[in-house]
Amino acid sequence: MNDVVERFERERWTAGVIGLGYVGLPLAVNAVNQGLRTIGFDVSARRIEQLAAGVSHVGDVSGEALSNALRTGLEVTDDPARLAEADAVFICVPSPLGRNRQPDMSYIEAAAATVAGIVRPGQLISLESTTYPGTTEDVIVPAVTGAGLTIDRDVYVAFSPERVSPGDEMKTGEIPKVVGGVSAVSGAVAAAAYRRLVPSVHLVSSAKAAEMAKLLENTYRAVNIGLINEMAQLAHELDIDIWEVVNAAATKPFGFQAFYPGPGVGGHCIPLDPQFLAWRAKEAKFATRFIDLAEQVNTNMPNYNASRIGELLNANSLPVRGTRILGIGISYKANVADDRESASLDVLRELEHRGASIGVFDPLFAADHIEALGWPAIKGTVEELGRFQLAVVLTDHDAFDFEAIADNVPLVFDAKDAFRRRRLARENVTVL
């Protein structure tokens, strides 16, 4: 084992990445930046063609960064056989939920089949896709052993959850990694490999522990967001400003972390990850009451926002049906062009279901993307803003001119407290 650990710690080995999406592409570029030859594989020939031309589809990887990586050690391919050249293979494929909110394991299973076809003695196989505890042992290990190899003698298997935060300053190569092997030996080898990629590695006792650590991180956030969303509804009933309350509580230097209400929860992690844990718990006949309650509150927030908007319109002698409402932002978080699982979309769909005429203003998305959702895209000119009777702030991109919005739209519902945080006092703005 010591020889293998030393090889990953000191030699210039080759990294292989399966899946060149928002997790895999930054990982591949970072590996090259750390001096490693890297082979990036994706099943999409079109994606490979674009990447090979230096065109990045991931916001956190610029075209310049991609082009530099291609010149200095990154190769991209749709040929899985090339992964046999890699000393460590990192699996970074999607892990969505199915229609009934059960884990969709098809991508991980397909990646495991790819591994089975290329795995060779001396390789490390590390799964990074978010999943339920036990996946690495249930899916990846059989793929490796089915190819005739023995864990820890021929090949090493581990789990290290992806940690990315699109749009934030901290990049993949700066974020500490949790690593857990399917054995102590595999864990030690994986930790050695990851130390070449990131500044800090936290080694845990097992792949299961690492898998659950990822789910705890985002379940913690989902539950606390659910709590503050419920508190926001209670505060409204008691005629209390929830934003003032949170800011007051946040002055405590210990024992409190501020979470804020909004249109709901969105993105690739928080709405999904707790459900992996809840699904696994049901198999164990264990009730995940906090997780279930938080999901109920969070998934109801778009309806709650729509109802509050209906109340605001009613107070101004306007019906929801037929009123022209402008959605300000459709991303799941500020300053990123990413609307996966975005609660902003759910608010607008609910308002449309209630009869409103919807338009969308979000300069981070191309007009054809917005129009494919079924709504007209506007550019935010004074003339265009003036066509709407109410604007609802759902995402607070820095690119928005909030003064122009309030000056040209008669009513504004602010689900993000964007105006007050920018010290913009407007009488026509109502805060969630």
Structure-block tokens of residue 237: 């009933």
Q: Which tokens belong to 19?
A: 């899946």
Domains of the chain: 2-205 (3.40.50.720), 230-431 (3.40.50.720)
Backbone angles phi, psi at 134, to 5 degrees: 110, -10
In 47-155, where do the E strands start and end? Answer: 74-77, 88-91, 124-127
Q: Tokens 């999904």 correspond to what residue?
A: 272
**Which of the following is catalytic: 115, 235, 242, 269?**
269
Supply the pLDDT for residue 149. Answer: 96
pLDDT recorded at residue 98: 79
**Residue 302 · residue 343 · CB < 8 Å:** yes
**What pLDDT does residue 268 have?**
75
**Chunked mean pLDDT (size 10), the chain, 432 residues:** 89 96 95 97 97 92 95 97 98 87 91 97 97 96 96 97 78 88 98 95 98 96 96 97 97 96 88 87 91 94 98 97 98 92 96 98 96 96 97 97 96 97 93 96
Pairing of strands 156-159, 177-181: antiparallel
Tell me whether residue 269 is one of the annotated catalytic residues. Answer: yes
pLDDT of residue 349: 98
